[in-house]
Amino acid sequence: MAYTTVNGTALHYEDLGAGRPLVFLHGWGTSGRVWDAQAADLMADHRVITLDWRGCGRSERPADGYTIAQLASDLLEFIDALALDQPVLIGSSIAGAFIVEAALAAPDRIGAIIPVDSGVHHFSGLQDAMDKLLTDLRADRAGTLADFVPHWYRPGVSTAMIDWTVRQLLESTFRIDGLVTDQAGYDPRDRVSGLRVPTHFLHGELDTEVPLSVPRELAALIPGAGLTVIEGAGHMSQQDQSDRFTAALRAALTNLH
């Protein structure tokens, strides 16, 4: 297992293969393991790095820092710690916001960004829904997650995959709930036209957590951005349609050279 200390926090990562560096970031409360299928394929001709961000997976669980701005800062420091040259950043769900912020802050250090099933601005203005989620998590974390997580996947996905995802969330620190509050006030739409990093969105056709209108709107705002819709996939498209997703990711990587 590999670790590096970033902003005072020990972060766990897997580093596989050689070639163009790809940094994969998981969504809220899961871990780098959500990218196992992509790592197994892409490590044949890329350097594949899957990172557990603070509070999740096998990384350290500090008492603070669970904001989009801090996670973007962690990401940039991680890139520097590994001396990565123009990596492609691939971020699932809320991690799409991390990579957008990293690209806005340091475009010269990043080769491209690929937000995956990312809400980005979708939850801004949904304060009541976010407050209810937080209340429910505090009252019954296990039960709330057991009800919540199945909606992340397409109909018919295995119960084993859902159960595994719930276990990852329960093993993460409850402090990640700070990101729920933070995302409710996050909206970069007035800034993304300034993105100067090649950008391509990948989004599940059946995502009920984040409608397709969200990446379509953002792709229209970002100069040169593209969008690929993953047929038959939900919010966790890299897992519930892994073959289709990996093929779409490879195509995007080719076009983003």
Residue 257 has pLDDT above 80, yes or no: no
What pLDDT, in 10s, does the model give residues 19-44?
Answer: 999 999 999 999 999 999 999 999 99
pLDDT band at 3 (very low <50, low <70, confident <90, very high): very high
Confidence of residue 125 (pLDDT cuts 50, 70, 90): confident
- The CATH number that applies at residue 188 is 3.40.50.1820
How much is the pTM? 0.97
**Residue 151 gets which letter from DSSP?**
G
Token pair in block for residue 95 = 């991690």
8 Å CB contact between 87 and 153: no
Per-residue pLDDT tens over the stretch 91-101: 999 999 999 99
The structural domain count of the chain equals: 1
Structural domain boundaries enclosing 204: 2-255
Q: What is the pLDDT of residues 148-157, one digit of tens each?
A: 999 999 999 9
Distance (Å, whole) CA 14 – CA 32 = 8
User: Could you report the per-residue pLDDT of 70-91, keeping only the tens digit for each?
Assistant: 999 999 999 999 999 999 999 9
In the block, residue with structure tokens 């709107």:
217
Q: Which amino acid is at 192?
A: V
For 229, the token pair is: 């819709």
pLDDT confidence bin for 127, thresholds 50/70/90: confident
Q: Who contacts 44 (Cβ-Cβ below 8 Å, separation ≥6)?
A: 17
